[in-house]
């Protein structure tokens, strides 16, 4: 109820901001006509861009009609095969998503983070709290491919790496998802950390293995084992819910991204840094030449194009290529 109320208030605030923006544009245009002032016209153009952006956000939110599209999201990033190179790419991918969330003003919380041996990460799970976080970020679920000159290769050879992004909705407490305790293997271990006075000296971290499905979730962010167990259970229920949705989607699709190997031919997007620079989404055909901006969280072009594709709307293949 509280989330629904916040969602409605958010839309009302957006409509109010659009109305005020249109009124301000009218004032600036009148000033420009009366004074023949370029400054007023420039202000009108700036406000028009802001209003158009807000209208575009509302249009895409209208397409996010799934039951949990307005909910927060739980993101898990894992490297594919490839050792240091893949682990480093997984960490770059995680940073990209977190920067996108930061740009939108979403809150993030690290739930589990396992550093790689030497570089990057072995896995990381992050909760992203914000309106329509799941609806937007489910467009990022799948395999991401990186091509670059590896910083870990002394011979400066080009390498191809893969990492996967799993996106599940943050399930409300009132949604009943039963988990039989007999189906769980529960392990406790010491949370990893940077050492020093902040290192956790107790076995407070928790790992759940759901035996029937093979789903493994872990939480080490909280110092209390009880809190970590509660968060791990929340994530497990989220994964089980997403698994059920995936079964329903499989009835309509022959193959889904969630079931593909983290390997060639299964990627949703390629990030090429060598011999040229280009990011291309293989689902929509959208290409962007500014790879640095994309890796710094500028994902809206790709997310919006994927939402349009799923809604059956035409997608513009070229989007901001530079």
List pLDDT tens digits, range 310-319: 887 766 655 4
Give CA 102 to chain center in angstroms. 11
- Are 187 and 280 contained in the same domain? no
Say whether pLDDT at 210 is over 60: yes
pLDDT at site 209: 94
CA distance 94 to 87: 11
User: Look-up: residue for tokens 């970020």?
Assistant: 137
Contacts of 26 (CB under 8 A, 6+ apart): none
| Length, in residues, of the chain | 322
Whether 222 maps to a domain, the answer reads yes
Helices (H) and strands (E) in the chain, counts: 7, 11
Read off the DSSP letter of residue 318: B
| 121 close to 84: Cβ distance less than 8 angstroms | no
Give the structural domain span for 17.
Answer: 2-63
Q: What is the mean pLDDT of the chain?
A: 84
Q: Which of these three, 42, 63, 84, is where a domain ends?
A: 63
- Are 32 and 159 contained in the same domain? no
- Are 162 and 185 contained in the same domain? no
| 289 close to 277: Cβ distance less than 8 angstroms | yes
Number of domains in the chain: 3
Burial letters for 231-258: b for 16+ Cβ neighbours within 10 Å, e otherwise? bbbbbbbbbbbbeebeeeeeeeeeeebb
The total of other beta-carbon atoms located within 10 Å of residue 122's CB is: 15
User: Torsion over CA of 281, 246, 312 and 169, rounded to 10 degrees?
Assistant: -80
CA distance 144 to 190: 31
Q: Which of these three, 63, 94, 112, is where a domain ends?
A: 63
Whether 68 maps to a domain, the answer reads no
Q: What is the pLDDT of residues 59-89, one digit of tens each?
A: 777 778 777 888 899 999 999 987 899 999 9
Q: Output the domain CATH number for residue 192.
A: 3.30.160.20
- Are 213 and 237 contained in the same domain? yes
CA distance 88 to 212: 32
Give CA 265 to chain center in angstroms. 22
Whether 320 maps to a domain, the answer reads no
- Are 78 and 168 contained in the same domain? yes
- Are 82 and 187 contained in the same domain? no
Whether 273 maps to a domain, the answer reads yes
Q: In what order do the strands lie in the sheet with 287-288?
A: 107-115, 121-129, 73-79, 158-169, 142-149, 267-272, 278-281, 287-288
- Are 209 and 274 contained in the same domain? no
Tokens describing residue 63: 């397409």
Q: Output the domain CATH number for residue 88.
A: 3.30.70.1660
Say whether pLDDT at 149 is over 50: yes
- Are 77 and 168 contained in the same domain? yes
- Are 149 and 264 contained in the same domain? yes
Whether 318 maps to a domain, the answer reads no
Identify which of 273, 298, 263 has the alpha carbon closest to the alpha carbon of residue 144. Answer: 263
How large is the average pLDDT for residues 233-242?
88
| 58 close to 14: Cβ distance less than 8 angstroms | yes
Q: What is the DSSP string of 170-237?
A: ---TTS-----GGGEEEEEEPPP---GGG---S--EEEEEETTTTEEEEE-SSSSHHHHHHHHHHHHH
> Which of 1-15, 29-43, 45-59, 151-165 has the lowest average pLDDT?
1-15
Whether 216 maps to a domain, the answer reads yes
pLDDT at site 2: 57
- Are 201 and 88 contained in the same domain? no
Beta strands in the chain (DSSP E): 73-79, 107-115, 121-129, 142-149, 158-169, 184-189, 205-210, 215-219, 267-272, 278-281, 287-288
- Are 237 and 267 contained in the same domain? no
- Are 167 and 24 contained in the same domain? no
Read off the DSSP letter of residue 297: T
Contacts of 64 (CB under 8 A, 6+ apart): 70, 132, 135, 136, 307
Whether 317 maps to a domain, the answer reads no
Q: Which of these three, 250, 269, 285, is where a domain ends?
A: 250
Whether 17 maps to a domain, the answer reads yes
Which pTM does this prediction carry? 0.73
Q: What is the pLDDT of residues 246-302, one digit of tens each?
A: 777 666 554 333 444 555 557 999 999 999 999 999 999 999 999 999 999 999 999
CA distance 307 to 309: 5
């Amino acid at each position: 109820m509280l989330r629904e109320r916040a969602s409605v208030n958010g839309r009302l605030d957006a409509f109010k901001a659009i109305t005020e923006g249109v009124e301000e544009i009218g004032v600036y245009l009148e000033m420009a006509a009366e004074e023949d002032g370029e400054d007023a016209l420039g202000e009108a153009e700036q406000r028009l861009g802001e209003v158009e952006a807000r209208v575009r956000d509302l249009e895409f939110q209208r397409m996010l009609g799934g039951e949990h599209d307005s909910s927060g999201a739980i993101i898990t990033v894992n490297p594919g095969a490839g050792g240091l190179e893949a682990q480093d790419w997984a960490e770059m991918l995680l940073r990209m998503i977190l920067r996108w969330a930061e740009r939108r003003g979403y809150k993030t919380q690290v739930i589990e983070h396992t550093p790689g041996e030497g570089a990057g990460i072995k896995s990381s799970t992050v909760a992203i709290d914000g309106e329509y976080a799941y609806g937007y970020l489910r467009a990022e679920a799948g395999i991401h491919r990186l091509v670059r000159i590896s910083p870990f290769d002394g011979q400066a050879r080009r390498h191809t790496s893969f990492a996967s992004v799993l996106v599940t909705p943050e399930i409300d407490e009132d949604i009943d998802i039963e988990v039989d305790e007999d189906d769980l293997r529960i392990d406790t271990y010491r949370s990893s950390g940077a050492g020093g006075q902040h290192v956790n000296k107790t076995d407070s971290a928790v790992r759940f293995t759901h035996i029937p499905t093979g789903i493994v979730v872990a939480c080490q962010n909280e110092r209390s084992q009880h809190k970590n167990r509660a968060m791990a259970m929340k994530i497990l229920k989220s994964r089980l819910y997403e698994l059920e949705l995936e079964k329903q989607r499989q009835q309509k699709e022959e193959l889904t991204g969630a079931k593909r190997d983290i390997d060639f031919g299964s990627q949703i997007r390629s990030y090429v840094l060598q011999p040229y620079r280009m990011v291309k989404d293989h689902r929509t055909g959208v290409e962007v030449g500014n790879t640095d901006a994309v890796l710094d969280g500028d994902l809206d072009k790709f997310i919006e194009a994927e939402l349009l594709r799923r809604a059956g709307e035409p997608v513009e293949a070229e989007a901001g290529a530079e």
